[in-house]
Amino acid sequence: MDELIGRDRELEAVNGLLADVSEGDFRLLRIEGEPGIGKSRLLDELDLRADRNGWLVLRGSAAEFESELPFGPVIDALDAYLMALDPRAIGRLGPDTAGVLAGVFPSLASFRSETGGPSIVTERFRVHHAIRELLERLSGKAPLALILDDLHWADQASLELVGHLVRRPPQAGILLAFAHRSGQLDATLASSLAIPGLITRIEIGPLDLAQTASLIGLPEARCETVFSQTGGNPFYSKELLRTGASVGSGRAVPDTVAAAISTEVSTLSPDGRSFVEAAAIAGDPFDIDLVDRITCPGGDSSLALDELNRKGLVKPTEIPRRFAFRHPLVRAAIYESIMPGTRLANHEKAASVLAESAAPAGEQARHLVLSARPGDEESALTIATAAAEARAAAPDLAVKWCDAALRIMPEGHPRFRLTVLGSKASAAAAVSRFDDALEALEIAGSLLPEDKVEERVTLASACASLEELLGRHQAAHQRLTGLLEELQSRKSIHAIEVMMSLANDAFLRNEFGEMNDWSGRALAAAREQTDPEYLAVAQATRALCTAFAGPIEEARECADAAAAAFAGFTDDQLDINVDGLVRLVGAELYLERFDDVIEHGQMAIEGSRRTGQSQHFPALYPAVGTAASNSGQFDLAREILDGAIDAARLSKNDHALAWSLFSRASLALREGDLDEAERLSAESIELVATQESGVVKVWSGVIRAATLDAKGRREEALSTLTGAAGGEALEKIPGSWRTGFLALQTEILIALRKEEDAARVCLLAEERATEFDNPLARAHALRARSSLGLATGDTALALGKARESVVLAEAARAPVDAGFARIAVGASLAGEGLPEEAIAELEAALEGFTRLGAIRGQKLCEQMLRGMGKTIYRRSTAGSGESGVESLTQREREIADLVVDRQTNREIAETLFLSQKTVETHLRNIFAKLGVSSRVEVARTLEKQSAPNRPGQYGPEIRVAP
Amino acid sequence: METPARVEDLFMAQYIIHHKHDPAECAASMAAWHGFSSPLRGRTTPSACLFGGHQTWWRVEADDANDALDLLPHFVSSRADVFRVEELMVP
């Protein structure tokens, strides 16, 4: 490697980063500069220094003419290393993560599973989560440097991954270093890099005269011409010196360098020239076997390779049969200089060679799109296959390849065109290119014969959904009503489907009356059919609509019936009717059946994954996350809702993003992380600011109001709440959930000393709770009444209502709400002059909040208890024996489990990518937390904890006779 | 300083390690060395990969055959045979 000249300041920054990451921190290094300025050379230096320090260094690069391969530079960096790992180490990541990774890395193909891969475009975040976890594991033994060069040429999937790692940094000693040309980084990624503290940015400038002279080994006086022509660009300086070219007037340096490289190529022997041109087509780096087969099938081109190597046009890589060009600019210059006919023929040959060797469709497609003749059916099929395979990771690329496949396919072939247009629409919608998706579906619709009623109905519903997303509500409505008019019978299954779509259309517009009307008609028609699947879907739709707009008894009946029907369906039936299951989940959420929401929601998520129906996720994830949040399952809720946010950000779908953000803000409120709730709710409300109305806008507003209230900004909270939800009566909030926000409004008004207004709103809450009789809603109304009683001095009433509220919240399995109701009980008892009982109640509430990890409730209890003269001792997280098992970190638990499996420290280290020393440190901590002193005791403690019948806890103690 | 009991204890045993991989494993057999600490890294050794042979040989000194293999990352050592050798005067 050449000496690095003139980069002392940059190396100082690199050394600082190496030191930070050695401490176990994640850091990001962004290197930018013009072509040839020395970005890769600085990365070489980073690579060398990290490697010398014992780091794991994995390095990949994007390439100019291969920028379409999903995760190209990431695969380049990691794939070979992953192949070299013990498969058991990958297996330890778990089947889901390993399955997802298998969809990205060819070397992990053996971990592919039917359900593990991210088959759905909107679930690309699962790949990002899996890769982040993988990187964390790989950095277990020593710090990891992941180096990605030439990111300005990177594919969309790689750029999204880098963006993800910036937003959700790995919790490990990892340095992600990447280089790109100035001003050529993807705009979305560039904007996400503005995070202070995490990112070090190095802009590499030109060398001065003395440095340039030192670089090219000439005295300064003889270097002036080169320096004046290249401005101190190291690569250009060396190229001009190498070829002896000089820059003519009016000519740019890159053009001169390109011309000089072409001249260099022209001096090659015919075989050498032919080989280098084929190599420029094959890739950078390139495998000599592929180039051999492009140039002279069956022949030996080692002499040509020797010539190129001798002249320095190509250089060996660390992999023996793989070579790289001297610089990407060399390859670009050669590629551009190839005569069009030769270029076409070489791409054609490359595609043919790759097809013969059964290379992945994506590798073939990048040559076929440049060389296939119109009407080449086989090529069109390969490109369409590549598009389908790329859809999950790189939807934009999939759209491009779908267009190419449609262009190359001969006239006719309507089935092929329908499939590819559907694939294109799905990919385009996933990145919010709704216009493109709609256009593809409309073309598909024009290809459908009149008698294909089922397909036409499905297409029209999909088009209407896209029109809704484009804000063309009237057009969507007209499309659906027009279709209904066309159908011969209003009672046919197709008519039922259209009516259910119309109900959904009304829901999105927040038109609950209309929604109820269409769902009622659909159900009546379905009852006249004998098809149990249509009946179940219509019942689920009706359950959702009536849970929103009443009557709630009918909602319960329909939800019960639909749930029973779905329980009896086979997997195939569930997959076909997954939209019905999604509606059932919505209904169950509004009926406060949180356990059912989680169970059916997860079934619907799996079904949607299996059938590729990504349109359900924006509603499903928030529903399941909200149910988990309400029932105190914060970890599950966080995992689901963070995933929902990542998915929505990737799809650039503001509607879905706002939905996920307010749901996540609501969770943060329950947990007591008010700053997080503030940040998330502010972003959510900003996203919907320009919308006229709609269910997401309403919910963004009311969650924002709840956040403002929690932050003590009560006037603002009140105006935000009533402004978003249609005035004091909050009529835009559907179903029994309105009660909770009427109760919130009551509390705000009490805090603002507007007791009369509070009394009026409290009455509204009680009326709504009676009309939509759900336990949690009633608990909210009762708590509002209790608060009002306290505010007006009627402590006896306050106590009675608060106690009822506790019972109902517990019946609804809503532990946070039950905790706040207990606080109301405590306050009422104190007001009644019963301090001991009040303290007992508050201590019970505190214990509940502590167990849940709900900080806000915890702090409130502690504050009140201190006010009553109690000293608060915070419980330590660590314990001993069985309770200590719960205090183990995830990594400690993994190690403890391997101890149970009787693995040695060395085996554990290998399995978990850790050093033996780290394993020993973890084991010491595990011993301390469990209060044990040997591995045997660790195993015994864990085995005891996982035993199904623990004495005295879950069942009778069984004594075994000696 | 303790004197070795036998003359041969002055010299470490020498081993030839013979590693083979499939052509498709060539990249992995190189990548396996990343992050692996070994005195063999950064040194040249005979290899037939460039000519399609996909075999590599190392001559190392080690206490025993297992220690010799420990100089290689798992992926490489698990595809290797190790032989104790000594210099031979060819008649």
**3-state secondary structure (DSSP) of residue A834:** coil
Architecture of domain A614-735: Alpha Horseshoe (1.25)
- Give the pLDDT score at A915: 66
Q: Which of A69-78, A388-397, A528-537, A716-725 has the lowest mean pLDDT?
A: A388-397
Kindly list the strands in the beta sheet with A144-149, ordered across the sheet, starting from the edge strand earlier in the chain. A56-61, A144-149, A174-181, A26-33, A199-203
d(CA A560, CA A666): 28
Of the candidates A56, A86, A319, which has its C-beta nearest B34's C-beta?
A56
Cβ within 8 Å, pair A81-B50:
no
Q: Which of A614, A580, A615, A605 is nearest to A469 (CA)?
A: A615
Beta strands per DSSP E along A806-874:
none
Cβ within 8 Å, pair B32-A56:
no
Instruction: Answer for the pair A697, A723: CB distance below 8 angstroms, yes or no.
Output: no
Tens-place pLDDT, residues A440-451: 999 999 999 888
d(CA A687, CA A662): 11
- Give the pLDDT score at A68: 80
Instruction: Answer for the pair A444, A402: CB distance below 8 angstroms, yes or no.
Output: no
Instruction: Answer for the pair A540, A583: CB distance below 8 angstroms, yes or no.
Output: yes
Q: Which residue of A has its CA nearest to B28?
A: A80
- Give the pLDDT score at B76: 96
> In which residue ranges of chain A is CATH 1.25.40.10 found?
746-867
Amino acid at A691: Q
- Give the pLDDT score at A298: 64
A56 reaches B (C-beta below 8 A): yes
Contacting B residues, span 19-38, partner chain A, CB-CB under 8 Å:
25-32, 34-35, 37
Burial of A841 (0-12, 13-18, 19+ CB in 10 A): buried
Tens-place pLDDT, residues A458-506: 899 899 988 887 878 889 999 999 989 888 777 888 899 899 999 988 8
3-state secondary structure A756-785: HHHHHHHHHHHHHHHHCCCHHHHHHHHHHH
Q: Match 């947990």 to its residue by tokens.
A: A671
Q: Which residue of A has its CA nearest to B52?
A: A321
Q: Which of A956, A954, A933, A958 is nearest to A945 (CA)?
A: A954
Which of residues A897 and A838 earns the better pLDDT score?
Answer: A838
Q: Which of A466-480, A618-632, A891-905 has the lowest mean pLDDT?
A: A891-905
Tens-place pLDDT, residues A400-434: 999 999 999 998 899 999 999 999 998 898 887 88
- Give the pLDDT score at A446: 92
Q: Which of A362, A363, A344 is nearest to A290 (CA)?
A: A363
Burial of A572 (0-12, 13-18, 19+ CB in 10 A): exposed
Mean pLDDT of A179-198: 84
Tokens standing for residue A351: 């595609």
- Residue B10 banded pLDDT, cuts 50, 70, 90: low
Q: Which of A710, A708, A745 is nearest to A725 (CA)?
A: A745
Amino acid at A411: E
Mean pLDDT of A94-118: 81
A53 reaches B (C-beta below 8 A): no
Percent of chain A with pLDDT over 70: 94
Cβ within 8 Å, pair A54-B35:
yes
Strand A286-287 and strand A322-325: the pairing is antiparallel
**Which one of A22, A85, A917 would you mutate to disrupt binding with B, by most B Cβ within 10 Å of its Cβ?**
A85
- Residue B55 banded pLDDT, cuts 50, 70, 90: very high
Instruction: Answer for the pair A821, A800: CB distance below 8 angstroms, yes or no.
Output: no
CATH code for the domain defined by A8-205: 3.40.50.300
Tell me the DSSP string of A790-811: HHTT-HHHHHHHHHHHHHHHHH
d(CA A915, CA A938): 20
A81 reaches B (C-beta below 8 A): yes
Q: Which residue of A has its CA nearest to B51?
A: A321
d(CA A727, CA A733): 11
Mean pLDDT of A199-227: 91
Q: How many CA atoms lie within 13 A of A217 on its CB side?
A: 5
d(CA A126, CA A731): 38
Cβ-Cβ contacts under 8 Å, A54 against chain B: 35, 37
Backbone phi, then psi, for A180, in 5-degree steps? -155, 160
Architecture of domain A746-867: Alpha Horseshoe (1.25)
Q: Which residue of B has its CA nearest to A50?
A: B35
Mean pLDDT of A234-259: 77
d(CA A790, CA A778): 18
Mean pLDDT of A883-898: 77
- Give the pLDDT score at A19: 93
- Give the pLDDT score at A299: 66
d(CA A922, CA A786): 50
Amino acid at A214: S
* Residues paired with residue A59 on neighbouring β-strands, in sequence order: A147
Cβ within 8 Å, pair A320-B29:
no
A300 reaches B (C-beta below 8 A): no
B56 reaches A (C-beta below 8 A): no
A298 reaches B (C-beta below 8 A): no
Work out the mean pLDDT of chain A and round it to a whole number.
Answer: 88
Percent of chain A with pLDDT over 90: 58
Contacting A residues, span 144-173, partner chain B, CB-CB under 8 Å:
144
- Residue A132 banded pLDDT, cuts 50, 70, 90: very high
- Residue A878 banded pLDDT, cuts 50, 70, 90: very low
Of the candidates A54, A57, A320, which has its C-beta nearest B50's C-beta?
A320
Cβ within 8 Å, pair A107-B35:
no
Tens-place pLDDT, residues A586-604: 999 999 999 999 999 999 9
Cβ-Cβ contacts under 8 Å, A107 against chain B: 28
Cβ within 8 Å, pair A141-B26:
no
> In which residue ranges of chain A is CATH 1.10.10.10 found?
268-338, 881-946
What ipTM does the predicted assembly reach?
A: 0.90
- Give the pLDDT score at A585: 97
Q: Which residue of A has its CA nearest to B76?
A: A84
Contacting A residues, span 317-336, partner chain B, CB-CB under 8 Å:
318-322
Provide CB contacts within 8 A for A650, sequence distance 6+. A122, A124, A125, A160, A431
Q: Match 């690579």 to its residue by tokens.
A: A47
- Give the pLDDT score at A958: 29
Mean pLDDT of A624-642: 94
Residues A342-351 as b/e (b if ≥16 CB within 10 A, e otherwise) read ebebbbbbbb
d(CA A41, CA A35): 12
A110 to chain B, minimum CA–CA distance in Å? 15
CATH topology of domain A268-338: Arc Repressor Mutant, subunit A (1.10.10)
Tens-place pLDDT, residues A291-311: 988 887 666 778 888 999 898
d(CA A12, CA A452): 68
B44 reaches A (C-beta below 8 A): no
Of the candidates A54, A318, A319, which has its C-beta nearest B37's C-beta?
A54
Which of residues A259 and A635 earns the better pLDDT score?
Answer: A635
Contacting A residues, span 11-40, partner chain B, CB-CB under 8 Å:
none
For the domain made up of A881-946, the CATH class stated in words is mainly alpha
- Give the pLDDT score at A946: 60
